[in-house]
């Protein structure tokens, strides 16, 4: 790349995690900058052994440490890595492609980072979004002592494209780590709150993070106890909500945490009231519609629940192509599309819902509402269903729509058209998990074992479906290819190290 990129790390006593991260990023960046904030273990020695430039900084909060790292870095772009993360090869390739896109769209100042939070079993337990990749520019700065954030100081936000990169995060594998972090953050936030005036931005930002920390403790320790503790701060935030700009990320996401709190306390009336206010701020914010679905489902109002899921899909179609939405629920999109198919086809009001989905498709020609329509039509009107999904795939050059088409052909034993569809899906998005899996299966049936192994390995890396290792073993055994055998042995060795 002709754009210089600095990998930056803030660390203290990270000798256990650091080698995994550094192994995953070595050779990929123009430099590695590590700011040590007082380690007493071998963190510094390990960093230097990987060629990192190491600087020391007295602890004065997260934003201060990150800004110092930016100041020490020489890259055009900065990518911050937490010590307990790991960069996958596919995501590094995705990052390079996004940078090429940004060269033609210089208005973008950062890139969204989605953390795949891993549990003890190695499976993804949750996703969280932030911005840890940004341009190096005097106007782009880090702020906030605890929950730090990068912003353009002239606009108080940062503009990112809709594409994001993903990174593995091991810090959530240990529940005690989450609990201690939340408790530590609460102590710091309460202290910082004392020095804030209630008309300052930092006041409501701290209130927001207090609510967020309580939500972690509610999920991990005692749902009712910590949800009730949140109520006091939810009411404080609401008292000053009119002083907070509607476009503020904190304001938008506050309604998500606040609504979840009321849902956990089974106060659905208050949750619905909050969401009505939230939709007046942004009627296309996907999370609000998903939470409305949760409220209506809990109240056994199936009709409104399904309508909310349809609006969730419509909001994704509306927002995903315009700006990078920070959302807790967009990652549920594929499950929601599948659930909508089941809900609508099994519902006594299915004809009503079919007409709603069809009307939305005719009005918007949205990618995902079109995919929903295809699914609910494919068994009763194959001709119309195929017409819809082919139009979605063509209009949007949608890798997911081509995957839907491929699955349809595959289920109907039309392997030639299935193969073409999955290949197109892969060409549009090499990180398409389903396309790689099906291509591995199809190449295996064609006895093209090298390509079957390639796509199977890609599927395994993207999905972390450890059970698929047996498929790769079958490919290797039938191929008699020594290179594949060597690659498989290396993979097995790496997996055994991860498990141990």
CATH number, domain at 440? 1.25.40
Q: Which residues touch 489 (CB under 8 Å, ≥6 apart)?
A: none
Which residues are paired to 31 by β-bridges?
6
> Is 365 inside a domain boundary?
no
64 and 162 share a domain? yes
Closest to 438 measured CA to CA, from 416, 414, 459, 462 = 459
Q: Give pTM, 2 decimals.
A: 0.78
Same domain, 179 and 250: yes
Here the contacts of 347-353 (C-beta below 8 Å, separation 24 or greater) are 347/302, 347/306, 349/303, 349/306, 350/376, 353/306, 353/310
End-to-end Cα distance, the chain: 36
Same-domain check for residues 71 and 61: yes
Residue 341 lies in a domain: no
Does residue 252 fall inside a structural domain? Answer: yes
Looking at the fold, whether 59 and 163 belong to one and the same domain comes out as yes
Range of the domain at 33: 5-173
**In 3D, which of 306, 372, 304 has the Cα closest to residue 338?**
372
Q: Percentage helix, strand, coil, to 5, in the chain?
A: 60, 10, 25
Q: Which of 260, 241, 356 is nearest to 307 (CA)?
A: 356
Tell me the C-alpha distance between 439 and 433, whole Å. Answer: 10
Please identify, among 251, 282, 313, the residue that sits at the C-terminal boundary of a domain.
Answer: 282
Residue 304 placed within a domain: no
Q: Are 127 and 143 found together in one domain?
A: yes
Between CA 71 and CA 78 the distance in angstroms is: 10
Q: What is the pLDDT of residue 5?
A: 97
Query: Same domain for 23 and 159?
Result: yes
Tell me the backbone φ, ψ of residue 115, rounded to 5 degrees.
Answer: -90, 125
Same domain, yes or no: 62 and 191: no
* Phi, psi torsion values for 78, nearest 5 degrees: -120, 135
Given a contact cutoff of 8 angstroms between Cβ atoms, the answer to whether 108 and 160 are in contact is: yes
Residues 253 and 144 in one domain: no
Does any domain span residue 190?
yes
What is the per-residue pLDDT for 500? 45
Boundary-marking domain end, from 134, 151, 173:
173
Domain-located, residue 293: no
- Mark whether 55 and 156 lie in a shared domain: yes
How does 288-327 read in b/e, with b if 16+ C-beta sit within 10 Å? bbbbbbbbbbeeeeeeebbbbbbbbbbbbbbbbeeebbbb
| Residue 27 burial (10 A CB sphere; 0-12, 13-18, 19+) | exposed
- pLDDT reported for residue 122: 61
Is there a single domain that holds both residue 45 and residue 168?
A: yes
53 three-state secondary structure:
strand
Domain boundary among 146, 173, 200: 173
Of 439, 473, 434, the closest CA to residue 455 belongs to 439
Residue 49 lies in a domain: yes
Report how far residue 251's alpha carbon sits from residue 420's, in angstroms, rounded to the nearest whole number: 45
Distance, CA of 126 to CA of 163 (rounded, Å): 19
**pLDDT < 70 positions in the chain:** 1, 119-126, 145-146, 172-174, 320-326, 495-500
- Residue 79 · residue 6 · CB < 8 Å: yes
Structural domains in the chain (count): 3
Q: How many CA atoms lie within 13 A of 192 on its CB side?
A: 23
Listing DSSP states for 387-437 in one string gives HHHHHHHHHHT-HHHHHHHHHHHHHTT-HHHHHHHHHHHHHH-TT-HHHHH
Asked if residue 275 and residue 168 are part of one domain, the reply reads: no
Distance CA 447, CA 478 (A): 9
Whether 16 is covered by a domain: the verdict is: yes
What is the CATH classification number for the domain harbouring 270? 1.25.40.10
462/481 same-domain check = yes
pLDDT of residue 120: 58
């Amino acid at each position: 790349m002709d754009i210089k990129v600095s990998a930056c790390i803030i660390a203290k006593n990270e000798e256990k995690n650091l080698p995994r991260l550094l192994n995953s990023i070595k050779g990929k960046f123009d430099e590695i900058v590590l700011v040590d904030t007082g380690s007493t273990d071998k963190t510094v020695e390990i960093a230097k052994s990987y060629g990192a430039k190491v600087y020391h900084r007295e602890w004065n909060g997260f934003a201060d440490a990150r800004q110092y790292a930016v100041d020490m870095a020489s890259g055009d772009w900065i990518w911050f890595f937490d010590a307990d993360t790991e960069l996958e090869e596919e995501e590094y390739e995705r990052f390079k492609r996004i940078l090429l896109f940004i060269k033609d769209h210089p208005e973008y100042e950062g890139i969204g980072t989605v953390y795949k939070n891993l549990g003890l079993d190695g499976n993804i337990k949750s996703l969280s979004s932030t911005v840890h990749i940004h341009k190096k520019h005097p106007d782009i700065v880090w702020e906030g002592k605890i929950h730090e954030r990068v912003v353009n100081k002239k606009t108080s936000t940062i503009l990112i494209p809709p594409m994001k990169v993903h990174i593995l995060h091991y810090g959530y594998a240990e529940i005690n780590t989450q609990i201690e972090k939340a408790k530590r953050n609460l102590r710091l936030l309460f202290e910082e709150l004392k020095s804030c005036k209630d008309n300052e931005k930092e006041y409501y930002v701290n209130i927001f993070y207090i609510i967020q920390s309580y939500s972690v403790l509610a999920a991990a320790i005692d749902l009712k106890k910590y949800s009730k503790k949140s109520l006091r701060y939810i009411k404080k935030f609401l008292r000053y909500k009119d002083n907070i700009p509607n476009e503020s990320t904190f304001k938008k996401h506050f309604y998500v945490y606040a609504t979840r709190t009321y849902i956990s306390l089974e106060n659905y009336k208050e949750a619905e009231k909050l969401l009505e206010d939230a939709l007046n701020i942004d009627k296309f914010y996907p999370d609000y519609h998903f939470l409305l679905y949760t409220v209506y489902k809990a109240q056994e109002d199936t009709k409104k629940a399904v309508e909310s899921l349809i609006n969730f899909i419509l909001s994704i179609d509306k927002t995903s192509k315009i700006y990078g939405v920070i959302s807790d629920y967009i990652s549920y999109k594929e499950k929601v599309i599948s659930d909508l198919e089941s809900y609508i086809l099994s519902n006594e009001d299915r004809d009503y819902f079919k007409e709603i989905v069809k009307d939305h498709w005719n009005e918007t020609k949205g990618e995902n509402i079109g995919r929903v329509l295809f699914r609910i039509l494919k068994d009763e009107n194959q001709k119309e269903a195929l017409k819809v999904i082919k139009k979605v795939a063509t209009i949007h050059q949608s890798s997911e729509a081509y995957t839907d088409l491929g699955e349809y052909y595959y289920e109907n034993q039309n392997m030639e058209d299935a193969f073409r569809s999955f290949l197109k899906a892969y060409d549009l998005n090499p990180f398409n998990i389903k396309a790689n899996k099906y291509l591995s299966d199809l190449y295996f049936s064609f006895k093209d074992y090298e390509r079957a192994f390639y796509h199977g390995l890609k599927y395994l890396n993207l999905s972390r479906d450890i059970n698929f290792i047996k498929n790769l073993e079958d490919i290797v055994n039938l191929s008699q290819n020594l290179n594949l055998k060597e690659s498989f042995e290396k993979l097995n060795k790496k997996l055994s190290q991860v498990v141990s």
